[in-house]
Each structure stands twice: as structure tokens, then as C-alpha cells.
Amino acid sequence: MSDLAYNKALTEYLEGFVGERRLGKLKEVLNKRTNHLTIVLEDVYQTHNFSAVLRSADIFGIQSINFIENRNKYKISEDVAMGSTQWLSLNRYQHHENNTKACLNDLKAKGYTIVATSLHQNSISLHQLDMSRPTALVFGTELTGITKDVEEMADEFVTLPMYGFTESFNISVCAALCMYELRGRIEKEFPNYQLTLSEKETIYIEWLKASIRKPDLIIKEFETRYFQKA
């Protein structure tokens, strides 16, 4: 049998272990998810910062987060992330010679415009950003910001308006403000912002598994029956 038939049968089987109210919530949230905007965190080292970014991404319906781990490894604080990790697609770049270049090259190959948050001399205000193409928004480490590699590979630089003496936002605050602004624009300007049917299918199965106790055992039971019929 085809992968399509397998996934359809598995989805229907897993749905039998989830209540109707929960199923409705999963489908409602999934229909609002987008990959038109993705977030990239380059060597952010403070646990509470990137955990808060994950929480905000889930809230604003941003499905994919990319971790670049050249110097710092990511360890999620569930007290801050509030369980958001199980609903997001997390891509970790940690085994390449240059994880920054590997990540940004992958995103460029998928059609993303690389946009770095920076006080770069060519930075534009966030509301001026052209969102017509899928956008990867890059945040650098807490102390020094984006690296030279990001600066060289970025297609655009953005900054948030600031009116006080302090020169920068906390990364998690900056990310939340950016996601709030850009999510609103995406929904308003791009009617087809949602995930593809293929993306929805894959993510929905993962969400069903996250909603069930002992999903591995249940899937093993399903496959025993499924392949016997096949």
C-alpha cells in the first residue's frame, strides 16, 4: 500500500484515541499554522530566551523554528516554553562544519528570504519589510547579535523602532514583537498563508501522537493489524 494510504489509515486509527473536543482544537489550530514565516536562532544561549521564543511562536502560529548551534547547545526550559515544543517543528543545525551557513543555505533553497534583525546601517523598519516571499527571520546571540556569516548571507536587515536610551530589546521580547507584527500582515496580505496539505498531514499525525498516552505502543498495534491486512 502507498504512504498516502498508510498515513490516512494511521490518522483515522489515532483519532479513535482522542476526544472530539481535543480533535476539534487540533484541527482549528492546524488550519491557522504557517510556514510563510520561520524563525532562526543563532547561538542564543540563555535558556529562558529561546524557550520564550518557542512559546511565542506557538501562540502566533509560526510552525517552524531553526536552531543554529555553533557554540551553544539548546536546552529547553519547559517551565518557560509551557509545552510548546510538542506542537512546533524544530530544526537543529549542530553537526555541520558551519551550522550557520548550512541552515541559511537550506532555507534559501526552500525559497526563503533571509532577514536579519540588526542595527545594521542598511536596516529598514519592520513594517517596511517586503513579505511577498517566505521569510526567515534571524536573531543572533544575546551579547553580540548576528555573526558575520549571517550578515554576509542576509538579503535584508530589519530593526524595531526604539524611543529610549536603551539600544536593544531582549531577544525574546524582540522576537515576540516581530512575530506579532508579521503574523498580522501575513494573514491580511496572503490568503494562502496556511501549511500545504502534505505539511498538515505530517504535523497532524505528530500532534495526535502528542495527545495520546504511549503512542509508540498504539502505533505498533496499528501496524500489526495494518500490515496483516496488506
Q: Find the radius of gyration of the CA atoms of the chain.
A: 19
User: What DSSP letter does each residue of 88-104 carry, written as one string?
Assistant: SEEEEE-SSSSHHHHHH
List, for residues 210-221, the tens digit of each pLDDT value.
Answer: 999 999 999 999
Note whether 153 and 213 are same-domain residues.
no
- pTM score: 0.92
pLDDT at 78: 64
Note whether 115 and 221 are same-domain residues.
no
List, for residues 149-173, the tens digit of each pLDDT value.
Answer: 999 999 999 988 888 887 778 889 9
Note whether 147 and 182 are same-domain residues.
yes
pLDDT at 230: 62
Q: What is the grid cell recorded at 136?
A: 526567515
Q: What is the CATH number of the domain that holds 126?
A: 3.40.1280.10
List, for residues 82-126, the tens digit of each pLDDT value.
Answer: 678 899 999 999 999 999 999 999 999 999 999 999 877 788 999
**Under 8 Å CB-to-CB from 81, ≥6 apart: which residues?**
51, 52, 54, 55
Residue 200 lies in a domain: no
pLDDT at 122: 82
CB 99 within 8 A of CB 134: no
List, for residues 33-84, the tens digit of each pLDDT value.
Answer: 999 999 999 988 788 888 899 999 999 999 999 999 888 677 766 665 567 8
Q: Rounded to 5 degrees, what angle do the CA atoms 163, 154, 115 make?
A: 50
Supply the range of the domain harboring residue 47. 34-193
